A and B are shown apart, each in its own frame.
Chain A
Amino acid sequence: GNSVTQMEGPVTLSEEAFLTINCTYTATGYPSLFWYVQYPGEGLQLLLKATKADDKGSNKGFEATYRKETTSFHLEKGSVQVSDSAVYFCALSDGDSGAGSYQLTFGKGTKLSVIP
């Protein structure tokens, strides 16, 4: 079955530090890959996505590249801000669940705290 493994948190960084959150996946097909973010007190929001190998998703200064050879989709940001403090979830969808479902399989989440 499908699975997503992401680095354990919590992660604490100083403002303007470089961020990497590792994510690897196992899937039977050719999945689409996603990063979702959950800010304190808010719902899950799509941060970025990539639908095929070597695609790079980017948004709000965050980037992630779909690496089929290493089955990875690591999230990076060059300079984090206090406002980036949130829980980040890596997820995949392969559309291979039958009946047209594109259900998401999530990792456990990584809590990021950015301190001034």
Chain B
Amino acid sequence: GAGVSQTPSNKVTEKGKYVELRCDPISGHTALYWYRQSLGQGPEFLIYFQGTGAADDSGLPNDRFFAVRPEGSVSTLKIQRTERGDSAVYLCASSLNADTQYFGPGTRLTVL
């Protein structure tokens, strides 16, 4: 596609529920990143994929968060037992080379 796409654009859920957020990177980009942006803050790194494997998941806040990229393209960020503190905008970015990352529009997650 022309750019990174993310679905849904907005997600409202109740505390304790499970959610999945999807990212479709730019075609051919092997590197994929997930970030989380809380209100009034800059994005914070969550996890990095190179191809199908999660090469660096050091930014995941706890074991309720998990992400997959089974075919090396689309990625899904999964959050179990959501908490109100998980409310944020979740951003996905992809890149072909080492430096320039291209961001999607984000998914705004609200946990009630």
Question: A residues bordering B, Cβ < 8 Å?
Answer: 4, 32, 36, 42-46, 49, 51, 89, 91, 93, 95, 97-109
Contacts and interface: CB of A to CB of B under 8 A. Distances in A.
The range of chain B's interface size is 20 to 34
B42 A102 contact: no
Chain A interface main SS type: loop
Contacts, number: 68
A51 B99 CA distance: 9
Nearest to B92: A43
B2 interface: no
Contacts of A99: 48, 50, 55-56
B55 A100 contact: yes
B55 A32 contact: no
A105 B59 CA distance: 11
B50 A106 contact: no
Contacts of B45: 103-105
A44 B99 contact: no
